[in-house]
Chain A
Amino acid sequence: MTGDEDRQRPMIEVTDLVKNYGSLAALRGVSLGVAKGEVVVLIGPSGCGKSTLLRCVHLLEEPTSGTIRVGAQQISFGGSGPALTGRKLAAYRSRIGMVFQHFELFPHMTALENVMEGPVTVKRMDRRAAAAVGRGLLAKVGLAGKEESYPAQLSGGQAQRVAIARALAMSPEVMLFDEVTSALDPELVGEVLAVMRQLAEDGTTMIVVTHEIAFARDIADHVLFMDAGAIAEHGRADDVLLCPANPRTRAFLSRFHNTGTLRSSG
């Protein structure tokens, strides 16, 4: 009985999340739920708060108020001082994988060492075991043979795939992708999207911020359209992307429709 409830209860639940930078309201009470194995894509104009939302979920930024629940851990914000600090904060973050727009690989480590770093330093995994995990993940993202390369020797697409492997190495409960293809040359975007598509098919729980609308339609279970720090529209991917109800969503998507990136298959 409780098992059924657990399965139906979203794995991640964000409630009334607010983030202010001084007098600027970046998030104005955002709520969303992500079920286990679900892929949620956030779209919206730049500055709408998509990245801030991801960074708040990861606690790279401390939300001003609201609550976040991941699994059984519920955290409320808005008290005096940060909700989590030190080891508790680090432990929370280790359960959530994050991939950044600019990769941020550790330049003084090889690709394999980048992937091993989390398991060895944070999880105290044996180096041999971590190397095996690392090799497996690099192979999974199509980089077998690049284990000993340094980040400076990798293309942007390769570097971003190493960054994805580095995040996966912690076996996170959810993966967050923050515009991970925006800094890439167009011809390198495909290889990164292919890895993400594979992860989605494997049942990885993902929250993805992207401007690749066609890709969003392919992998998303749900799409959220954000505007001015709030969720303006949400629903199944095809509903939001092909027949948006909100005029702002329609305006935002119009350029993709006009250029033929999206076509209704009805």
Chain B
Amino acid sequence: MHYHWDLAMVLADTDRWLHGIGITLLYSVATVAGGIVIGVFCGLALLSPKRWVTLPLEAYVEIFRCTPLLIQIVWFYYALPIVLNFSLPAWLAAGMGLTLYMGAFCTEIFRAGVMSIGRGQWQAGRAVGMTYAQLMRRIVLPQAVRRMIPPLLNQSITQLKNTALLYVVAVPDLMYTSSIITAETYRPLEVYTSAAAIYFIMLYPLTLFAKRLETRVDR
């Protein structure tokens, strides 16, 4: 192969790369945080015995889990404005899609975490006279949160990669920046390899951390 690599040329515009990385990180942190907040509330509400509470939440979770994120982002950008009759800015439409998607998975993680605490623990708490709130705060959540951390971390890792889909609505994240630089330099090999390397460098430490946590939780 006689391909002449020219990394210097595609990486020359450091500021633009850094800006792209910044946007990717910003969206990752914001949508993970938003998703966890959604997950806590919806996950707790899902434990209710009332069907009119749980049915809409189950529908929300399954719709967002079982449709492509790409369609969700595009839908919020192109379709929702038609329904609401006013257009959302791209950054908001894309952010809403990503946040609700993360929220659906967090809801499931939260619900499963609480459900994983056995009936016996609930009964032991009730047996000393705890109210539902005391039981949750003192007995169930401290144990459940420990079990939720590894899946939450895994979902966050996936979420950071999912932000690459923002490029379809022209949010200038790392992926969109790469496509622009490719168009300008005609160097897709160098650009996308560099972008992949940057994603890897951001995520690899997180996966190591997740593994360490999992072994600690096992103990």
Contact = CB atoms under 8 A, between A and B. Distances in A.
B127 A60 contact: yes
A126 interface: no
B124 A105 contact: yes
Contact of B143 (A108, A122, A167, A170): A108
B127 A122 contact: no
B131 A100 contact: no
B104 to A, nearest CB: 29
A41 B146 CA distance: 40
A86 B134 CA distance: 11
A45 to B, nearest CB: 23
A170 B121 CA distance: 17
Majority DSSP secondary structure for residues of B touching A: helix
Contacts of B138: 117, 121
Contacts of B146: 108
A106 B134 contact: no
B59 to A, nearest CB: 29
Contacts of B143: 106-108
Given A117-B138, A121-B138, A104 B121 contact: yes
Interface string A198-241: 00000000000000000000000000000000000000000000
A110 to B, nearest CB: 13
A96 B126 CA distance: 11
B81 interface: no
A170 B125 CA distance: 12
A97 B127 CA distance: 7
Given A60-B123, A108-B142, A108-B143, A94 B128 contact: yes
Contacts of B121: 104, 106
20 contacts: A58-B127, A60-B126, A60-B127, A86-B131, A90-B130, A90-B134, A93-B126, A94-B128, A96-B127, A98-B123, A100-B120, A104-B120, A104-B121, A104-B124, A106-B121, A106-B124, A108-B142, A117-B128, A167-B127, A169-B128
**Shortest 7 CB-CB contacts between residues of A and residues of B:** A94-B129, A118-B128, A104-B124, A98-B127, A104-B120, A122-B129, A93-B129
Interface of B: 120-121, 123-132, 134, 138-139, 142-143, 146
Given A102-B120, A104-B120, A106-B125, 8 more contacts: A87-B131, A97-B127, A104-B124, A106-B121, A107-B143, A108-B142, A122-B130, A167-B128
Interface of A: 58, 60, 86-87, 90-98, 100, 102, 104-108, 117-118, 121-122, 163, 166-167, 169-170
